[in-house]
Chains A and B, each alone.
Chain A
C-alpha cells in the first residue's frame, strides 16, 4: 500500500514538473514574441508561478514518494514547499512592483491602452 502511494506521489510530482517545463518554455517564447512591456509581464508570471512554483511542488511530491531517501525525503520536501510558498508571494509582489514603477514613471508607452 505504501509503495502504491509512493508511486502515485512520484507520478503526480513528475506531472507537475512536466507542467513546469512547459510553462517555462511557453514563458520564454512569450517573452520573446509579445510586443509590449505590459503584455510581457504576463509571460513573466507564467514563468515564475507556472515554471517555478508548480515544479517545486512537484519536486516536493517526488521527494515525499522517494522511500529510498529515508527521513531525508521530508527535509527535501519541506524545503521545496517552503521555497514554493516564498516564491509564490515574492514573484507576485515583485511583478506588481515592477509594473507599478513602470506605470508611474511612464517609462514605456501604455500598450495595449487601458483607455484611461
Chain B
C-alpha cells in the first residue's frame, strides 16, 4: 500500500511539473532573445575580424572559464590541488610504499580493459585539445584520462601499474610541472611585457588597448584560443596526474593505511 502511494505521488509530481512546463511556467523555451551579458560574451569569444578584446576561442564556455574569469579558474585549480595535497599528506610515507599487491582480474576483463584504456586516453586527449572548439576542456579531459589508471589499477593490480611506470613519484612530477606551466602561461605576457618595456596583464590572452601582446590565435588553420589551448593541455595533465596520485594512494590496503594514521589524533 505504501509503495502504491509513493509511486502515485511520483507520477503525480512528474505530471504536474510537465503540465506546468507545457503551460509556459519556465517562460518561452528557447528564449526569444539573448540577454545583454550573453550577447557581450558571444561577441567577444571569437572575433577574428577585430582581434582586440577577444579570446579567439569559438567555444564560448571555455573562453569564459580560462579568459574572462581566468583568475577564478586559477583559484579553483589551487583549491583542487589543495585537496589532493591534503589527501597525500595524510598518507605521506605509506603512499610511496608498495602496500597491497592487488590480484589481477580474469582474462575477459583484462582484454576488455586493454581495448578500452587506449580509447579512454584518446577521448581524453580529444576533449582537452578541442576544448577551445567544442564542449570540454582541460579539467574534463584530465578527469577522463584519470579513468584509465583507475581501471588499470583495479583490473591489473597496483603492482602491474607500478611496473608499467605509472608511479607515485612520476605522477607527482607531472602534476607539479603542469602546475608550474599553468602559472607560467598566466604570467607569460606580464614577464614578456616587463622585458620588452610595454604594458601587459596577468592572464592576458589576446592584445588589449595599450597592451598589444597576444598568444598565437591560430594553430595552422584552426583557432587555438591563444592561451586557452595551453591552459587546457596543462590543466588536463595536472588533473590526470593529481587523480592518479590519489587513486594510487587510496588503493593501499587498509592495514597499511591505518598504520600511517596512528597518532594523528594526538598530534604526532
Contacts of B119 in A (CB 8 A): 86
Which A residues are closer than 8 A to B by beta carbons? 86, 89-90, 92-93, 96-97, 100
Q: In the complex, what distance in Å separates the CA atom of A97 from the CA atom of B106?
A: 8
Is the CB–CB distance between B108 and A92 below 8 Å? yes
User: Which residue in A89, A96, A97, A100 is a CB contact (below 8 Å) of B115?
Assistant: A89
Is the CB–CB distance between B109 and A96 below 8 Å? yes
Q: Which of B81-127 contact A (CB under 8 A)?
A: 105-106, 108-109, 111-113, 115-116, 119
Q: Interface residues of B, CB < 8 Å — how many? A: 11
The smallest beta-carbon distance between B163 and chain A, in angstroms, is 22
The smallest beta-carbon distance between A3 and chain B, in angstroms, is 30
Contacts of B108 in A (CB 8 A): 92-93, 96-97
Contacts of A97 in B (CB 8 A): 105-106, 108-109, 155
Q: In the complex, what distance in Å separates the CA atom of A93 from the CA atom of B108?
A: 6
The dominant DSSP class at the B interface is: helix
The smallest beta-carbon distance between A51 and chain B, in angstroms, is 19
Contacts of B105 in A (CB 8 A): 97, 100
Known: A86-B116, A92-B112, A97-B108. 9 other contacts (CB 8 A): A89-B112, A89-B116, A90-B116, A93-B108, A93-B113, A96-B108, A97-B105, A97-B155, A100-B105
The smallest beta-carbon distance between B76 and chain A, in angstroms, is 30
The smallest beta-carbon distance between B126 and chain A, in angstroms, is 12
The smallest beta-carbon distance between A77 and chain B, in angstroms, is 18
User: Which residue in A89, A90, A92, A96 is a CB contact (below 8 Å) of B106?
Assistant: A96
Contacts of A89 in B (CB 8 A): 112, 115-116
Chain A to chain B contacts (Cβ below 8 Å), 13 pairs: A86-B119, A89-B112, A89-B115, A89-B116, A90-B116, A93-B111, A93-B113, A96-B106, A97-B106, A97-B108, A97-B155, A100-B105, A100-B106
Q: In the complex, what distance in Å separates the CA atom of A6 from the CA atom of B124?
A: 34
Chain A's closest residue to B108 (CB) is A96
Chain A's closest residue to B116 (CB) is A90
Select the residue from A90, A93, A96, A100 with max chain B CB neighbours within 10 A.
A93
Q: In the complex, what distance in Å separates the CA atom of A96 from the CA atom of B116?
A: 16
Chain B's closest residue to A93 (CB) is B112
Q: In the complex, what distance in Å separates the CA atom of A86 from the CA atom of B112?
A: 9
The smallest beta-carbon distance between B8 and chain A, in angstroms, is 17
Q: Which of B102-156 contact A (CB under 8 A)?
A: 105-106, 108-109, 111-113, 115-116, 119, 155
